[in-house]
Structure 1
Amino acid sequence: MLKLVGVNKRLGEFHLRDIDLAVLPGEYFVILGPTGSGKTVLLETIAGMYPPDAGRIFFAGKEITCLPPEERRIGFVYQDYALFPHLDVRQNILFGLKSRKIPAAAREGKLGEVVQLLGIGHLLARNPSTLSGGEQQRVALARALVTEPQIFLLDEPLSALDPRTREGFQRELQRIHRATGTLTVHVTHDFAEAAFLADRIAVMQRGRLVQVGSPEEIFYRPSSLFTARFVGLRNVFAGEVLEAKGHRLFRAGRLELAVETGFTGPVGCVLHPEHLQLSPTPTGGTTCLPGRVTAVYRRRFYLEVMVDAGEELVLWIPPAGHEHGFHRPPQVGEKVWCVIPPAAVHLFPRSED
């Protein structure tokens, strides 16, 4: 296990604040956040490039807070690959082993293993400047893996790749992790990438970890407006829960809906569009809001319907309608009812706007 306890680090105007984190053995852990949130600083602090101003770092039950980087058995891959331009691929991969004075025969054995794992044997005599982005990234991974690190740190490793190559490389990283079982910490600003790769995700904002959980927990049960908006959720509202005639009511702007919750006061709310339903007439037994269709967009497997129901709501419905009395796609300008079952509503205490 990799464990950080109360880690703080100030660099100029930036402050890494009170980081408590435990990454499990063999876990693929992703740190997700926007540019400037401190993801790379946290990674470099784990690697020993920055000593923390406060707090402690442990790995496998031993404290490594003050260990120099070369004694931490860490493999680090940056987004710009950081290959040595004056060395060919073979020399780049072997650089770390040579610096550790590993005997030549052992170096060749390790080289053969990592080359086979990554399928780059045909590149060994090439210069980095002649390689594609995907090939350079494979070489950078090989250089980190050949030293058999106990911790594998990846800093935005796919950000410089084109979309098609990036998608293929996500599968490659997944395959490598399954083959090696190395504890991996990967930072990115891309939720889709994080959701594909991660066992768990930590969301980072302004130097703090604001939520840690599985990809499903982060997406379906965000704990803040920041997380909900950053991962691309629709129907995110800042409002409040009020008592009204023995019932609780969520209000945000012109939107009002009855809710079952233990919260009162300022809250955030997410209405998941795939769980909302559309009806041409009012329905009983659940929250049902009148509205008017303002736009309909045909997506690959569903219709995205925009409805003015006091505030704009986004609904994802089957392409041909076929729900709650609809036998055709809804039309712009049509009066409709938005059915909001309890499963569609996620509320959380609000501490920021």
Structure 2
Amino acid sequence: MIELDGVSKEFDGKRVLDGVTGRVEDGEIFAVIGPSGAGKSTLLRLVGLLDTPTAGTIRINGIDIHASKEQSLRIRRTIGMVFQKPAVFNTTVAENIAIGLRFRGVERRTIMKKVRGALDMVGLAGYEERRARTLSGGEMQRVALARAMVIEPEILLMDEPTANLDPVSVEKIEELVIRINRELGTTILFSTHDMYQGQRLAHRIAVLMNGRFAQVGTPREVFTIPATRDLARFVGIENILEGVVVGREDGGIASIDVGSTRVRARSSFGPGERVALCIRPEDMQIAPAERGVGNPGGNTLQGTIISIVPRGPFSRVTVDCGFMLSSILSWKKVDDLELQEGGLVVVSFVPESVHVVSAGES
């Protein structure tokens, strides 16, 4: 549906996008995540024909969308867009939603029918005569979504659509995104600063870093097997250790020296190679030292609890094992194990839970 071929964009001599290449398949939900200032909004504006690339080509259904003004206009009519900050006119909700249909010359009777249908879709039936600017932020964003969808676009672009909304409004918008995709088959390309939102909604995710897609894959691939150390850090893998491969065992298990400690991990790297070990907090077990942890064939390390920090219904427990390791446990688990700062514990994890990348990659 959408092809990005070496797309670059400069502003005042500063290159924001630097050869972005990738594709969005017909009918999928595709999320773009990345650090602030990475160029997510710029990329969506280029796809939405609100700006032109400095270099490279963007194709929709095989057509270069910036090749000619006539083609650009025709493609633009197939695209709906929702911005981070809801843009509403100082008029009624119905008038706000109808604007795209009026530009297309649709007759009034059909417009009102479509507007009512769009309002029903976003859960705002009966809001036709309300003043748009009197609505809450979440309601205004649903009006913006209704305005984008009333023209029945093939592609829906959403630039951080829930960035400024409360959790209840976020949930409603996310439910709408999934419904629009499933029931209408609309291809959805959206950017988000909320990585968990990307996991919840997207069929595939692209991580935009240093002006390019650093990795594209399913949510599981991006968040559990990041391609580089920097990507691992960005997607929330808190435990990243550097070491050197010192040996290999049968079954693809490598022995890796991390300081004065040896860690076993599934890896294809050979002896002498410097690597980074990425271990998700939820893949580690912690128990008081006197109890121990049954983990035959795995990694068992002794250490001292440095901190126990609340994180919603969970706690982040950080242990000094000669290097720092953090695990995520429920409050009840922390209480049941009687874990306390300064306490001696055993940390364990299996070799298969360790994702190994080159220490030289960034």
Query: What TM-score does the superposition give when structure 1 sets the normalisation length?
Result: 0.88
Indicate the residue corresponding to 1:306 in structure 2: 318
Q: Which residue of 2 aligns with 1:54?
A: 55
The residue type paired with residue 114 of structure 2 is: K
2:278 corresponds to:
270
Q: Provide structure 1 residue ranges, at least 5 long, that are not aligned to the other structure.
A: none
Q: What is the CA–CA distance in structure 2 between the aligned matches of 1:170 and 1:27, rounded to whole Å?
A: 15
C-alpha displacement of 1:307: 1.4
Mapped to 2, the partners of 1:115 and 1:299 lie a distance apart of 38
Deviates more, 1:172-181 or 1:215-224: 172-181
The whole-number CA distance in structure 2 between the counterparts of 1:67 and 1:134 is 37
2:267 aligned partner: 261
Post-superposition offset of 1:317: 4.8
Contact 1:31 1:202 in 2 (8 A): yes
Residue of 341, 345, 351 corresponding to 2:354: 345
Indicate the residue corresponding to 1:35 in structure 2.
36
Whole-Å Cα distance in 2 between the matches of residues 196 and 84 of structure 1?
Answer: 31
Cα distance in structure 2, aligned partners of 1:320 and 1:116: 43
Write the distance in 2 (CA, Å) between the matches of 1:52 and 1:341.
47
Higher mean alpha-carbon deviation, 270-279 vs 176-185, is at 270-279
Give per-residue Cα distances to partners, 1:33-53, cap 9 Å, x unaligned: 122100011101111222223
> Matches of 1:241 and 1:61 in 2, distance apart?
47
| Mapped pair 1:285 → 2:286 | no
Which residues of 2 match residues 40-119 of structure 1 at below 5 A?
Answer: 40-68=41-69, 69-72=72-75, 73-85=78-90, 87-119=91-123
**Unaligned residue ranges in structure 2 (runs of 5+):** none
Could you tell me which residue of structure 1 aligns to residue 214 of structure 2?
Answer: 210
Residue type of the alignment partner of 1:292: T
Q: CA deviation at 1:244?
A: 5.3
Change (3 A) 1:298 1:104: closer
Which of 168, 173, 182 aligns to 2:172? It is 168
Residues 286-338 of structure 1: CA deviation (Å, up to 9, x unaligned): 2222212223456676654321101111123576669xxxx833343333332
Looking at structure 2, the residues matched to 116 and 328 of structure 1 have their Cα atoms a distance apart, in angstroms, of: 51
Residues 241 and 65 of structure 1: CA distance in aligned 2, closer, same or farther (over 3 Å) = farther
CA contact (8 A) 2:243 2:274 kept: yes
**Superposed counterparts of 1:168-247, under 5 Å:** 168-237=172-241, 239-243=242-246
CA offsets per residue over residues 245-282 of structure 1, 9 Å max, x none? 98954355666423342225343321122222235348
Deviation at 1:196, TM superposition (A): 1.2
Q: 1:171 to 1:255 in 2, by over 3 A?
A: farther
C-alpha RMSD of matched pairs (Å) = 2.7
Between the two proteins, what is the percent identity of the paired residues? Answer: 33
SS at match of 2:341: coil
Q: Give the match's secondary structure for 1:125.
A: coil
Aligned-partner SS, 2:244: strand
Higher deviation after alignment, 202-211 or 52-61 = 52-61
C-alpha distance in 2, partners of 1:296/1:256?
Answer: 26
How many angstroms apart in 2 are the aligned matches of 1:148 and 1:29? Answer: 19
Preserved contact between residue 254 and residue 311 of structure 1 (Cα < 8 Å): no
Shift, 1:130, TM fit: 0.7
3-state DSSP of counterpart to 1:123: coil
Aligned to 2:343: 334
- Alignment partner of 1:142 is 2:146: yes
* Aligned-partner SS, 1:219: helix
Give 1:285 deviation, angstroms.
2.4
Q: Check the 8 A contact 2:205/2:218 in 1, yes or no.
A: yes
Aligned counterpart, 2:3: 3
For residues 320 and 157 of structure 1, the distance between their equivalents in structure 2, rounded to whole angstroms, comes to 35
Q: Alignment partner of 1:122: what SS?
A: coil
Q: What is the aligned length?
A: 348
CA contact (8 A) 1:32 1:39 kept: yes
| Structure 1 position 18, deviation (Å) | 1.4
CA distance in 1: counterparts of 2:60 and 2:25, whole angstroms: 10
How far has the Cα of 1:158 moved from its partner?
A: 0.6
Q: Which amino acid aligns with 1:152?
A: L
CA distance in 2, matches of 1:293, 1:168: 40
- Equivalent-residue separation in structure 1 for 2:104 and 2:81 (angstroms): 16
Deviations 1:154-191 (A, max 9, x none): 01111121233223322232223322220000101111
Which of 126, 134, 139 is the equivalent residue of 1:130? 134
Q: For 1:20-72, what per-residue CA distance to the aligned partner results, in whole angstroms no more than 9, with x for missing partners?
A: 11111111111011221000111011112222232222222333232545321
Residues 299 and 32 (structure 1), Cα distance of their counterparts in 2 relative to 1, 3 Å cut = closer
- C-alpha spacing 1:155/1:255, structure 2 compared with 1 (3 Å): farther
